[in-house]
Amino acid sequence: MVTVADLNSGHMPTWCPGCGDFGILIALKGALAKLSIPPEETVVVSGVGCGSKLPHFIKTYGFEGLHGRSLPPATGIHLANNSLTVVAVGGDGDGYGIGMAHFVHTMRRNVDLTYIVQDNEIYGLTTGQTAPTTRKGTKTKSTPNGVIDQEVNPILISLAAGATFVARGFAGDIPHLTDLIAQGIAHKGVSHIDVFQPCVTWRKDLPYDLYQKKIYKLQEAGHDVTDYHSAVARAHETERWPIGIFYNVPRATYTDEIPFIKDSPLVKHDISSVDISKYLQEFM
């Protein structure tokens, strides 16, 4: 059995008091405990940003990489050892800005990993510039006259890219988010979980109670998670903000199609003495 206490790293988070990242951290620990995954079997991978400091605050293996680049190493780790649970976390700037190419391609690959995006619609660590998800017209430090760009809709993008598990949570509803993350990790294939994460410092105009007022739960609204077109329609909603699972379907994962790691992950293959005579044949 793994408890939430087993996952405490002993390091105090450095986030602002009230930051939505606390809720996400608690939910991730809760999900790993719920699934009883041993700490050494989990790798939490991140990029750079406020939320990307998360690997230090959870007692598992961690890989805190480069800004925008959490998904490639997460993929490399998974392909190296597909018996591990790999969870990538990062902000909306990290994932939908600088890391957008990796986001789209990781979704289409259906690599068995879970990607949690701390989506606060702002750049926090760089002190309050517009993010890809910042809604058109919003005034930020880098857009004092309002954002001109149309905002990114990450749920639509992962649906379009071919993700097999697409969900959205709210950092202010920890039990719901815990359950979402647990389902995402349990899902065979890629899981994209975008999380509404209030930024109490730079987005005072997007407080917890606004989210609470706007959101509704897809699973309480009778949404069919296997209906792609319905998922797309829900992702288009702007008046009310749906949370929960948009889409969840089975599909062969990337590693399902690699025969030689069916029985044993790559890392367990013996490399002490590789015979290359077959390879050299064609040069003789």
Partner 1 sequence: MAITNRVNFLVGGPAGAGVASVGMLFAKCLQRAGLNAFGTNDYPSLIKGGHNLYAVSVSPEPIHCLVGQPDIVIALDKKTVELHAAALASGGALIFDSNKVASAKEMAKREDISYIGAPLTQMAAAAGGEIMFNTVALGAAMGILSLDFAILENMLGKLWARKGQAVVDANIAAARAGYNFSKSALSEPFKARIEFIKRDKTLFINGNEASVAGSLAAGCKFVAEYPMSPSSSILHLMAGHETDYDVIVKQTEDEISAANMIAGAGFAGVRAMTATSGGGFSLMAEALGMMGMMEAPAVIFESQRAGPSTGLPTYTEQADLLSALHASQGEFPRVVVAPGDANDCYVEAFNAFNIAELLQVPVIVLLDKYLSESSFTCENFSKFQLKVERGKLLSDEQLAAAPQPFKRYEYSANGISPRSIPGQKNGLHVCSSYEHDETGFTSEEGEVRIKQIDKRARKLSIIPEVFIAPTFHGASESLADILLVCWGSTKGPMLEAIRMLEQKGVAARMMHIRYASPFASVTVLKALSKAKNTIIFEGNSGAQMRSLIFQKTGYYIEKAYLRYDARPFTPDEIADHVSKLAGRK
User: What character string, x for contact with partner 1 (CB under 8 A) and - otherwise, covers 226-265?
Assistant: --------------------------------xxxx----
Query: What is the smallest separation between the CB atom of 103 and partner 1, expressed in angstroms?
Result: 10
- Which span (16-24, 52-60, 130-138, 218-226) binds partner 1, by CB under 8 A? 52-60
Residues of this chain, 264-283, that bind partner 1 according to CB under 8 A: 266-267, 269, 271-274, 276-280, 283
Q: Which of 23, 60, 198, 246 binds partner 1 (CB under 8 A)?
A: 60
Question: Among 16, 18, 26, 76, which residue interacts with partner 1 (rule: CB under 8 A)?
Answer: 76
**Single-letter residue type at 12:** M
Lookup: tokens for 99: 């890391």
Does residue 128 belong to the site contacting partner 1 (CB under 8 A)?
A: no
The answer to whether 29 contacts partner 1 (rule: CB under 8 A) is no
The token pair at 219 is 């699973």
Contact 2, 32 (CB under 8 A): yes
Q: Helix (H) and strand (E) counts for the chain?
A: 9, 8
DSSP 72-122: HHHHHHHHH-TTSEEEEEEEHHIIIIITHHHHHHHHHHT-S-EEEEEE-SS
Q: Determine contact, residues 98/66, Cβ cutoff 8 Å.
A: no
CA distance 19 to 26: 12
Contact present, 103 and 75 (Cβ < 8 Å) = no
Residue (51 or 242) nearer to partner 1, CB: 51
Taking alpha carbons only, the member of 113, 127, 117 closest to residue 94 is: 117
Q: Which of 75, 133, 134, 183 is in the footprint of partner 1 by CB under 8 A?
A: 75
Q: Among 35, 81, 129, 142, which residue sits at the site for partner 1 (rule: CB under 8 A)?
A: 81
Which phi and psi (to 5°) does residue 187 adopt? Answer: -65, 135
DSSP lists the bridge partners of residue 118 as: 91, 195
Closer Cβ to partner 1, 103 or 196, answer by number: 103
Please, which of residues 173-202 interact with partner 1 by CB under 8 A?
A: none
Q: State how far the Cα of 31 lies from the Cα of 36, in Å rounded to an integer.
A: 8
Number of residues located near partner 1, criterion CB under 8 A: 55
28 binds partner 1 (CB under 8 A): no
| Position 73 contacts partner 1 (CB under 8 A) | yes
Q: Which residues bind partner 1 (CB under 8 A)?
A: 11, 38-43, 45, 48, 53, 55-56, 59-66, 69, 71-77, 79-81, 83-84, 101-102, 104-105, 258-261, 266-267, 269, 271-274, 276-280, 283-284
